[in-house]
Amino acid sequence: MSLKKLSIVPLEIIDERIIHQLILKLEEIFKITADQISWDAISKHEKSDFKSRLKYRSTELVNYFSQNIPEEINGILFITISDLYSPVFARYYGEAQLNGNVGIISTFYLNENLSEESQDSVIFLSRLKKEAVHEVGHLLGLTHCMDSNCVMNLSGKPSDIDIKSSSLCKKCSEVLRNTTATV
């Protein structure tokens, strides 16, 4: 998929400075344009249509928007503070379509093992950026990488996120370069 513009859609109120940092990171890594838009700008649905109790049914939300993405939008990355639900995973940080146009990330578990006063810390922001880059990587066709330092490495717990880089390894960079060069 060729992703030239990505729209970030917070599902709850999220600090504008955090969104701004995500936009800068995604633009830097993927050489795309990113902006923030509101839920109301893209959907006639209520957010609760995709929420069950305190969890977003991420697969349902991703599938719906992949089939009904507004014409003027190239890609969407939803961000939520709520937990995510998927029939496949009991607990995870995000979901995105491989070579698709819709993904979602959650901050719900990214605060794990951080003290309350450090939840807006450098560590939390680093985790969030890495997960955003990881999910956008999937949108661009990248799969999970075996290199434990690569941002595309699968993270099972927050310490896995902390260990890996916020960048792509050489192999994933090459795959991305070859994929986008043929589009």
The catalytic residue among 72, 131, 135, 174 is 135
Residue type, 4: K
What's the number of CA atoms in the CB half-sphere (13 Å) around residue 27? 13
Angle at 141 between CA 140 and CA 144, to 5 degrees: 115
Q: Which residues contact 169 (CB under 8 A, 6 or more apart)?
A: 145, 147, 149, 150, 152
Concerning whether 135 is annotated as a catalytic residue, the answer is yes
Q: Which residues are catalytic?
A: 135
